[in-house]
Every structure is written in C-alpha cells, then in structure tokens.
C-alpha cells in the first residue's frame, strides 16, 4: 500500500485527528471567556460587588451572568477531559527528596535509558545523542516544571509508539513494525506557550490556567504501526493533540517503511482557583 492509498482509505480518521487542534483552540477561547474580567464575563461575586457600589446590573443580569459562568465552566471540564493531558506525579520534583535541578537530571537520565532499552529490545534504531532530545537544564522552578513536562511527553510518545509496534507484531509476526524514531521537545526559546489574549491591563493571561509543551516527532514504520500510533493519541484525560502539518512519506518501494512526522502538544489544565473573599 502506498501513502496515497493509505491517506485515501483513512482520510476520515485522519480528519478526526486534525480536529484535536481545533478543539484546543476552542478550549483556549472558553478558558479566556470564563476568566475574562471584562463586563460580559465577570463571575457572580464580581457582579454582585459592582452592583452594590454602582447600580449597573439588575437581578436578571446577575442571574444571567451566573448561568453563563456555570455553562462555560462545564464546557471547560468537558474540553479538559477530551483534549487535556493529566500530568503524572512521577515527573514532579515536589516531595521526592531532591532539589529541582537534581531531580530533573535524574529523571532525564532514567527515562532516556529506559527508552533506549525498550528500543533495543525491539530492534528500533535510536541515536541517544540525536534522536532523544530536550533543552538543557533551565533556571527557575517554573522552567524546570516545564522541562519535566516535556520529558514526560517524550516518554509517553515513545511508550505509545512501542505499544503500536507490539500490537502490530503480535497480530502479524512478519510485520515490519517500528524501524526507527526521533523524538524531541521543541527548544524552549521557540516553544509555543499559551499566548496572551492581550498585553493590556485587566486582560487574561491564559498561561495561568493551563501548561503547554510541544514535541516534534519523526518515525519510520509500516502503515499499520503508524495508524495504530495515531489512533492512540486521543485518550480521555491523556490526549496528545496532533497539530496541523502531519506528513507521511514513502519511497514508493513496497518493502520500505513509511516516514511519519509532525508535532504533538500536551495541554495540562490547572485547577481553577477560587477568588478570595
């Protein structure tokens, strides 16, 4: 099967993968809508306080604001379940008995060795210096948390690739499966972070409500393994969002593997904070 035939036969499913990116953009809009301090998106407490000092909102407006906030908060929960990625506590330095820098180096080494071992057991080609990468140790606790999130996503992507390989080879021991892979966290200076809606005063910085890291990937495999991996991306509470730009290339020779490349985003929603009295 060539790539053109593969895309034609699975175009509906591939379109479904692309929906993940659109869902993420919608989610970001909803998060901003929930927390926008503007006059049309104030929470019930803020509306009530303003109503006490300046008679702008009547009871009907207050009720409508409360209803709208509840509706948007419910939509946020649904989207967080569908496209959100729940962080694994094992990749957090809190309570581990190590300094943040020390823990980052420790888990980075451990996960790289584990991935290389799993790849070797499956005869998957991986260069430890070129094919498994993440940025150097950053400064500051927030940047270290972001780096740990990136390593977790690399680990998760590799886990799903190996699972796809195992499933295909179990079904057909003669199948080619996964041949080689290159996975890396996008460099921090250009990584896509949740963007500001505006730099103006009183505007919402959505980075307060979710974390985001992007991982670039490229792997060689047969079509069945590529499809199994792409199908594994959407998991309630553990979704990896496939961004636009997925590429699948084939040399045209039947025995050669397909090269699949693109970028994946992990979006970890933060717990909503309550406004203090």
Give residue 277's pLDDT: 38
Answer yes or no: is 274 within a domain.
no
Answer yes or no: is 252 within a domain.
yes
Sorted by sequence, the CB contacts under 8 Å of residue 168 that are 6+ apart come out as 175, 177, 222, 224, 225, 228
Give residue 250's pLDDT: 84
Answer yes or no: is 89 within a domain.
yes
Do 241 and 83 contact (CB within 8 A), yes or no?
A: yes
Task: Please state the pTM of the whole predicted model.
Answer: 0.69
Answer yes or no: is 57 within a domain.
yes
The owner of tokens 């430890």 is: 128
Answer yes or no: is 275 within a domain.
no
Answer yes or no: is 276 within a domain.
no
Integer Cα distance of 182 and 45 in angstroms: 50
Answer yes or no: is 179 within a domain.
yes
Integer Cα distance of 159 and 235 in angstroms: 14
Give residue 195's pLDDT: 47
- 216 beta partners: 184, 263
> Residue ranges of the chain with pLDDT lower than 70?
1-57, 69-82, 188-208, 271-277
The owner of tokens 């790539």 is: 3
Do 56 and 47 contact (CB within 8 A), yes or no?
A: no
Give residue 275's pLDDT: 42
Which tens digit of pLDDT belongs to each residue from 91-149? Answer: 999 888 888 999 999 999 999 999 999 999 999 999 999 999 998 878 889 899 999 99
Which domain range does residue 162 map to?
3-269
Give residue 236's pLDDT: 83
Answer yes or no: is 12 within a domain.
yes
Do 214 and 186 contact (CB within 8 A), yes or no?
A: yes
Total domains in the fold of the chain: 1
Give residue 220's pLDDT: 97
Give residue 192's pLDDT: 47
């Amino acid at each position: 099967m060539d790539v053109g035939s593969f895309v034609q036969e699975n175009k509906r499913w591939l379109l479904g993968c692309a929906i993940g990116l659109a869902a993420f953009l919608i989610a970001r809009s909803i998060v901003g809508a929930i927390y926008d301090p503007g006059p049309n998106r104030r929470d019930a407490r803020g509306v009530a306080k303003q109503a006490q000092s300046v008679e702008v909102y009547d009871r009907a407006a207050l009720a409508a604001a409360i209803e709208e906030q509840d509706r948007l908060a419910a939509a946020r929960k649904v989207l967080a379940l569908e496209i959100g990625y729940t962080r694994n506590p094992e990749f957090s330095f809190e309570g581990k008995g190590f300094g943040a820098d020390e823990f980052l180096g420790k888990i980075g080494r451990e996960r790289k060795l584990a991935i290389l071992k799993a790849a070797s057991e499956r005869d998957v080609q991986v260069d430890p210096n070129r094919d498994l990468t993440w940025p150097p140790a950053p400064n500051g606790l927030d940047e270290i948390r972001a780096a740990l999130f990136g390593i977790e996503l690399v680990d998760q992507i590799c886990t799903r690739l190996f699972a796809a390989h195992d499933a295909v080879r179990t079904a057909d021991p003669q199948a080619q499966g996964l041949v080689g892979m290159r996975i890396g966290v996008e460099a921090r200076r250009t990584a896509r972070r949740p963007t500001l809606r505006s730099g103006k005063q009183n505007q919402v910085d959505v980075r307060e409500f979710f974390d985001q890291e992007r991982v670039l990937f490229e792997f060689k495999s047969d079509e069945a393994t590529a499809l199994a991996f792409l199908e594994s991306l959407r998991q309630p509470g553990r979704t990896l969002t496939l961004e636009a730009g997925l590429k699948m290339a084939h040399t045209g020779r039947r025995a050669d593997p397909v090269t699949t490349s693109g970028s994946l985003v992990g979006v970890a929603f933060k717990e909503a904070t309550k406004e203090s009295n």
